[in-house]
Amino acid sequence: MQACAENLDGKSCTVITNSIHSADLLSNHTAVQIRLLGGKVDKEQRYVYGTSVIETLSHYYVDKAFIGIGGITMDGFSASEEEGKIKHQMMKAAKKVVVLADQSKFDRRYGYRFADWSLVDVLITDHWPTKEWLVFLAEQQVEILIPEPTDDKEL
């Protein structure tokens, strides 16, 4: 999610987030309007959760939802229950859902399954997945994007 926030530089948009870290990063971009959702604070993970967050999200219509994923399997997406409920609500509110998952998230499962592939339009990841995953994503009609590495990230 950090890379997503950093790449909004200069783009005029409104971002709705429950991530304190993302809101902090985005506060440096003058063209970005930030709506930080209110609720209980997870101090360790730096995000806001709870029924008030889900209730507020249920009233929004959004063009694109960028969803960071904890675990991704062919059965769907998983996270903690608190995170999962929020992510699911945002996915339901969006016209287009973009999942952000590096290769370490593939075939990883947490205790709470919050969504399946029917809600996803695009997957952005850092490496090409296995052939089995490529076939699966094609069957699900999910577009896959892998950003080109930039020179400043190569050491």
pLDDT tens-digit series, residues 27-38:
988 899 999 999
What integer pLDDT is reported at residue 2 of this predicted model?
64
4 pLDDT higher than 60 = yes
9 pLDDT higher than 90 = no
Could you give the maximum distance between any two Cα atoms of the chain, in Å? 44
87 pLDDT higher than 90 = yes
Share of the chain above pLDDT 90, in %: 79
Closest CA to 83 of 105, 104, 68: 68
What integer pLDDT is reported at residue 11 of this predicted model?
75
Question: Mean pLDDT for the chain?
Answer: 90
Assign 14 to helix, strand or coil. strand
